[in-house]
Every structure is written in structure tokens, then in C-alpha cells.
Amino acid sequence: MNPNKTFLTSTLAAVVALGLSANAQAAEKKADGEKCYGVVKAGKNDCKTLSNACAGHAMEDGQKDAFLVVPKGTCERIVGGSLEAPQGGK
């Protein structure tokens, strides 16, 4: 096998493995956590909001309809954190 092709194949395999590992860690975090609304930094939310359809698209810091998954029992200890999603809009 060509050395360049071998390098490319092993690099691609490593990237795929890292992606799978990150997905497994995210799933574990969500299983052991709770949604905490209103504590995100712009662009750092974990899932869709009332105003957009993708993770990582919060428009502003502290956006009330965006959440992060945090360890259980943590959200209510964070200033501005809420276990309840806002009704309606932001």
C-alpha cells in the first residue's frame, strides 16, 4: 500500500474514532444531567431553541430558551438557571 494512502486512511480512522467517542460522551452527559435554560454563552447551546433549529446557534449570552445539559442538581445553583423552558419566545 502507498505510504500516503496508509497515512490518510489511518488519519481518517482516528477522526472517525474521535467523533464516535465525543458522541458517546455527550450521550452519557445527557443521561446523567438536566436541561438548564438561560445560562448559555452565544453559540454554545446544546440543542435547538424556540428561535432556531440547531445546537450551537444561541444568538446571545443567557438566551432564555437555550439550554445546556448540566449535572443533576446544578442548574438551580447557577445564577439565571432554570429547569423550565420559557413559554412562547425568548
Long-range contacts: 22-28, Cβ < 8 Å, 24+? Answer: none
Count of other CB atoms within 10 angstroms of residue 49: 24
pLDDT at 8: 61
pLDDT confidence tier of residue 52, bands split at 50, 70 and 90 = confident
Question: Which distant-in-sequence residues (6+ apart) come within 8 Å of 85 by Cβ?
Answer: 35, 37, 50, 65, 67
The three three-digit cell numbers of residue 60, written as one number: 446571545
Mean of pLDDT values over 20-34: 61
pLDDT for residue 37 is more than 90: yes
Compute the distance between CA of residue 62 and CA of residue 45 in angstroms, rounded to an integer: 10
